[in-house]
Structure 1
Amino acid sequence: MALIQARLALLLLVWFVKGHSTSDNVLPVVSAAEEWEQLLITMHQNSNSQPGVFYGRSSPSMPPYSPPDFMVVSQRDVQKELFKPDKQTRPLPLSFKEHLLKATAPPPTTAPARQRFEVLCYIDRILIRVRKDAFKQNIIKDLKFGKCSVTEQDFQYYYLRHSMDADCGYQKEYNMDNFIYTNQLIYRPTGLIIRDEPFDQDIHCKFDRFFHSFKRGFYPILRGQTHYKTLQTNSIYTLTPQDELGNEMTSYTLNQLMQFEAANPSMSSGPGNQRLYIDECYVTPSSDPNSPLQYKVIDNYGCFIDSKVSESTFVIGDSPTSQKFVMPAFLFNTGSAALPSQQLYMHCLLSHGSSTPSQIAKACTYDSSSKKWKELHGNDSVCACCETSCPEQSTVNSQPVSSTFWTVASNERPTKTH
Structure 2
Amino acid sequence: MKDWTGETLTSVFYTGDLLHLEASYSGPDARHRRLFIDSCVAALSPDPRSAPRYYFIENHGCFNDAKEEGSNAFFNPRTRSSSLQLQLAAFLFPQDTRNSIFITCQLKATSEMQTSSPTNKACNYINSRWINVDGSDDVCRCCDDTCFSNFLTGHTNLGSLIPEDLVARETVTLGPVMVLPYK
Give the TM-score, by structure 2 length.
Answer: 0.79
Q: Identify the structure with bigger relative contact order (alpha carbons < 8 Å, sequence gap 6+).
A: 2
**1:295-344: CA deviation from partner (whole Å, max 9, x where unpaired):** 00000100000100021000135432221110011100117xxxx56111
SS at match of 1:357: coil
Give the RMSD, CA atoms, in angstroms: 2.2
Give the whole-Å Cα distance in 2 for the aligned partners of 1:341 and 1:260. Answer: 22
Deviation at 1:372, TM superposition (A): 0.6
Q: How far did residue 358 of structure 1 move? A: 1.1
Which runs of structure 2 are paired with 1:238-317 in the superposition (5 Å)?
243-246=1-4, 247-248=7-8, 249-266=10-27, 269-270=28-29, 272-309=31-68, 310-317=71-78
State the alpha-carbon separation in 1 of the partners of residues 79 and 178 from structure 2: 25
Q: Partner of 1:347 in structure 2?
A: 104
Query: Any runs of at least 4 consecutive aligned residues in structure 1 with deviations exceeding 3 A, and if so which?
Result: 392-397
Task: Report the CA distance between 1:350 and its aligned residue.
Answer: 0.4
Partner of 1:372: 129
Contact kept, 8 Å, 2:107 with 2:171, in 1: the verdict is yes
- One of 116, 124, 144 as aligned partner of 1:387: 144
Q: Unpaired runs of 5+ in structure 2? A: 150-158
CA contact (8 A) 1:341 1:409 kept: no
Aligned residues: 162
Shift of 1:360: 0.6
Matched residue SS, 1:327:
strand
* Residues 206-254 of structure 1, C-alpha deviations (whole Å, 9 max, x = no match): xxxxxxxxxxxxxxxxxxxxxxxxxxxxxxxxxxxxx323332401111
CA distance in 1: counterparts of 2:83 and 2:11, whole angstroms: 20
Equivalent pair of 2:38/2:59 in contact (CA under 8 Å)? yes
Shift of 1:378: 1.9
CA distance in 2, matches of 1:403, 1:252: 14
Per-residue CA deviation, residues 152-183 of structure 1 (Å, 9 max, x unaligned), is xxxxxxxxxxxxxxxxxxxxxxxxxxxxxxxx
User: Is the partner of 1:384 in helix, strand or coil?
Assistant: helix
Which residue of 2 is the match for residue 225 of structure 1?
none
Q: Structure 1 regions of 5+ residues with no counterpart?
A: 1-242, 413-418
Find the structure with the greater CA-based Rg: 1
Residue 182 (structure 1) aligns with: none
CA contact (8 A) 1:253 1:409 kept: yes
CA gap 1:270/1:304 in 2 versus in 1, 3 angstroms: same
Partners of 1:341 and 1:410 within 8 A in 2: no
1:316-355 mapped onto 2 (5 Å cutoff)? 316-334=77-95, 342-355=99-112
